[in-house]
Each structure stands twice: as C-alpha cells, then as structure tokens.
Structure 1
Amino acid sequence: MLSVLQLFTHSPLRNFSYIVYSDRSGEAVCIDPYDAKLILTHLKKHGLKLKSILNTHEHNDHVAGNLELKEETKALIYSHPNALGKIPGLDEVLKEGDIAFSHESETLVAWDTPGHTNCHLCFVLKNKTSHKAVFSGDTIFNAGVGNCYRGGNPSTLYNTLKNRFFSIEGETLLYPGHDYWDSNLNFSETMEPDNKEITKIRNLAEAKKETSEFLVSDFSMEKKVNPFFRLEQTTLQNNIREKNKETDFDSEKSYFLGLRRLRDHW
C-alpha cells in the first residue's frame, strides 16, 4: 500500500509538499519540495528512504528544496520534458503515462497536464480499478484552478481539465500545491451566492484548522463548490455573462475563460 504525508510550509504562498511512501519497503518519493529541512525531518521520523523527487512544474515555490534535498538523500529529480534547463538539479524526465513510483498493485503515474505552464505534470495515485488521488500542483486547487500568466494558457488549461478531470471519479482525493481554501471559497461565493454547500465546506475547513489539520477534498466535493467544475449552473453562467459584458458566451469553454478572467482580477 502507498500512503501519503501532507506537509505544509507556513509561507505567504501556503505551500504543500507531499511524501508518498510504501508502508512495507520504506521507500518514498517527494512531490514539490519547498522546505528541504521539513521534508528531511519527516523522512527521519517515519524511517523512510527517499527514492526520488518529483516536480509538478518549474516555478520556484515547487522546486526551492530540490538541491538541498538531493544533496542530503542522493535522490534523483524528475519532471516534465519541457522543464529541462528550468528546474534545478533535474536528472530525468517523465512523459505521459510513465510510472513514477509503485508498490504491489498501486502506482503513481505522470499525467501531462499543461495550462498553468506548458511544463506541468500531475501525479495520479491509482490501483488496477480506480484513481485514488491526484497531486495536482497548480493545475487544480481546492475550489479553484491555477492561473495562467506565468507561462501558461487558459484555453490549454480548459482542455486539460475537460479531458482529464471533469469526469474523474468523485471519490478521488485532491492534493493541491497550495492551501487556497479561504480565498477560493470567497470567490466562489461571489459567483454563486445562493450555493449553501460553500458555507458547509467553509465550516469543515475551519474546523480542521482548529486541530492544525487541512481539509482534504475529493472531486465530488469540488463539483459542489469549485466554480470551474460547475460551468453548467445557470446562476453561475448568468454572473459570468454579467461581469464580462463585452464577451459572447456560446460554449462551456467560453464560460471557463470568462470565469478565469474574473478570478484573475478579483
């Protein structure tokens, strides 16, 4: 069985890093190391040996701990082919469908997910029959999606979400690159003020904070509060049209792009 440690760094960017490890062998991989010392502490605490470092993409808040962690553990660093020359210490690339880690029937698979940047991978934990979790980097956040103004493209991001995530199983867990629950739920509420699920989930997130934990969503929860997964909702469509008065809306993609513009300037 593969297990997950979610590590939070108290920085203005509210970074998450993840350690995925085998309960039986003690081997582990780290996804998006921001604070190398924090990760090393948890590797030691749990008696784990780091096998590799996986970067979802090239932005510094996802690779800042690469070199120190590599020096201390001798782990190899893997990321997207387009990230060669952009990521410190990158050793090998992972292409669409490559297995980044495995144990018995469970695998961690690389998905090519451009949009936030054109160098973006998501890592999907799956078994033989279903997807268990998505490590989404900056492609999907709780109640939101990534921006596209640091090397990305919103049309490409829509295509990634449409083809990969709109129809993923509802029980699949979401592990994003940052904790943006508060700001994203606030934006969601401005777009769907009558959506009572937003208040329910905000209360769940606040209750977790009281015990220094974080609310982990799944895709069924995201489809209740994440406006980018709710583009068919009439109230949401009306608000998108009203706030983008000079834009024509004739497709799901046009609503997505209008919503992304609104979030960029909110």
Structure 2
Amino acid sequence: MKSLELEVFLCRSDNFGVLVHDAETGQTVSIDAPDAAAVEAAAARRGWNITHIFTTHHHIDHVEGNLALKEQYGLEIIGPVNEAVVIPGLDKSMGDGDSFLFGDHTVNVIETPGHTAGHICYHFVDDKLLFAADTLFALGCGRLFERPAADMWHSLQKLAVLPDETAVYFGHEYTLSNARFAVTIDPSNVRLKSRAAEIESLRAEGKFTIPTTLGLEKETNPFLRAADPAIRRNLLMEGKTNEEVFAEIRKRKDNF
C-alpha cells in the first residue's frame, strides 16, 4: 500500500483546505469544502480528480463548497450522522466507531461533540493521519457552540489515545494566537515556550503551522493537559475535576 499524497492550502481567510490523494486508485478526497474555487484550484494544480468530500461538521465555512464541487465532479459526500439533515449534498452518514475504506486505506470515524453536536473526525489508521477539523487545533480546541465543556473534554480524550506519532490536520490557522494564550496557562512548560517561539518565526515567514502531531499536542496543548499539576496550580484549581479545569481554560481562551 503506497503512502497517500496531501495538498494543503488556505481557503477563505484562515480555513485550511486539504486534499488527500490515493495514487493507486486515483481517488481524491477533500477534507471539508470551505470554498469550491480554492478546492478546485488545488486539485487542478496537482492534476487530481476529486471523488469524495469528507465533511466533519455543518458550519458554513466547512460545507459551503459541497454542492458546487458535487456538480463539478459528481463526487460522493460523507458526513456526520448526527448532523445529516444540515450537510448539503450528503450521500452517506457516519457515526462514532464506523469504519470504511478509501482505496485500500482504512478510515475510522470518531465522533467528537463539543464545537458542534455531531462533529466527527476522520482517522486514517495505517497512515497515522487524523483530520480533526474544529475539535483539536495546534495548541487549541474549538469553541463550544453546541455542547458543554465536559462533552468536549471527553471528545479530546478520545483523540488523545491515538498513537503519539499521528499527524493532526486541523481546520484553521489559529496557531499563533493559540500559542500566545497557551503560555499564559502553562508558563513553566519549557517545551511550550520553545514551540511558541518556533510558531512566531513560522508565521512571520508566512509559513503554515500544519500538521502537528498528537504527541506534541499532549506535551504542549493546555486543552489536553487539564490534569497537569503545574497548570492546576497556576489556575488555583488544584482540587477541581479535569472537566472543571478544562472549562476554565476554554472560558479564558474565549476572552483572550
């Protein structure tokens, strides 16, 4: 089984578009469809024909291109079962624990409610790729629009058990802001400070911060580290539950 090819590009103002291409079958999937023109341009650059869209959640900046791309390519749209009625052009709905093949590549579906009620992530198991959209960002997590903090904490734990070497592709270039905030929550984390400096340099040069790895996030992302004693001391929350600490971190980020 050959490795998949990826094309990463910006859509809209700060959305990441990602195309995943299987050279053996010629299949190409767009992870979400933030903007049809940007996705089409990326496919044209690589000479790929888009055969699928894997939708993660219903927000307009992730589905706006669905119908135009479906008309252009005759592709198949897969999306979350718990948001099926609001995903434009949906052909197949998937829920937590479902699995399917993209070429010869196994894709597991992980339901991660929090940002939206039915948000799903796509885990390409053997390729060690996770498309986390607006659940897990580099040094961040999605805003809680449709589910409480405890639900998002549980969702993040489902991702945290995947292998540390898993490459994480996320939905937005929010990393610089996330890094500046993370240091306020975890100021004694030497690895985080080093990473924040690296991110400052990357963004100053106009370079992307995607992908990250799950192992790196577990070392530096405060939203995955609610159990860490240093963070708890810094927040004066040493006797609180992980869910309560996470909720406080998310609240602070909302107001950062």
TM-score, with length taken from structure 1 = 0.87
TM-aligned CA deviation for residue 43 of structure 1:
1.6
Report the residue type matching 2:129 in the other structure. Answer: A
Equivalent residue, structure 1, for 2:148: 153
Contact 1:136/1:174 (8 A) holds in 2 = yes
Q: Which amino acid aligns with 1:201?
A: R
Q: Deviations over 1:57-76 (max 9, x none)?
A: 00111111111111111112
Separation in 1 of the partners of 2:148 and 2:83?
16
The CA deviation at 1:95 is: 2.3
From 138, 145, 156, the equivalent of 1:142 is 138
Secondary structure (helix, strand or coil) at the match of 2:50 reads strand
Q: CA RMSD in A?
A: 2.0
The CA deviation at 1:10 is: 5.0
Q: Which runs of 5+ in 1 are unaligned?
A: 243-247
Question: CA distance change for structure 1 residues 223 and 110 in 2, over 3 Å: closer, same or farther?
Answer: same
Q: Which residue of the partner structure matches residue 257 of structure 1?
A: 247
Cα distance 1:240–1:177, how it changes in 2: closer, same or farther (>3 A)?
A: same
1:220 aligns with 2:219: no
Equivalent position amino acid for 1:258 in 2: E
Q: Which amino acid aligns with 2:167?
A: L
In the aligned structure 2, how far is the partner of 1:211 from the partner of 1:263?
Answer: 24
> Identity percentage over the alignment?
29
Q: Which residue of 2 aligns with 1:94?
A: 94
CA offsets 1:134-174 (integer angstroms, 9 cap, x no match): 1001111110111112x222111111122x12332111111
Among 156, 160, 171, the alignment partner of 2:165 is: 171
The one-character-per-residue Cα deviations of 1:183-227 (angstroms, maximum 9, x if unpaired) are 111111111222222232133334444263434210111122200
Q: How many residues align?
A: 253
In structure 2, the gaps of 5 or more residues are none
Q: Which residue of 1 aligns with 2:198?
A: 204
- Tell me, yes or no, if the aligned pair for 1:138 and 1:176 is still in contact at 8 Å: yes
Q: Which runs of 4+ in 1 moved over 6 A?
A: none
CA displacement at 1:182 relative to structure 2: 0.8
Q: Which amino acid aligns with 2:5?
A: S
Aligned counterparts of 1:109 and 1:168: Cα–Cα separation in 2: 11
Contact 2:33 2:63 in 1 (8 A): yes
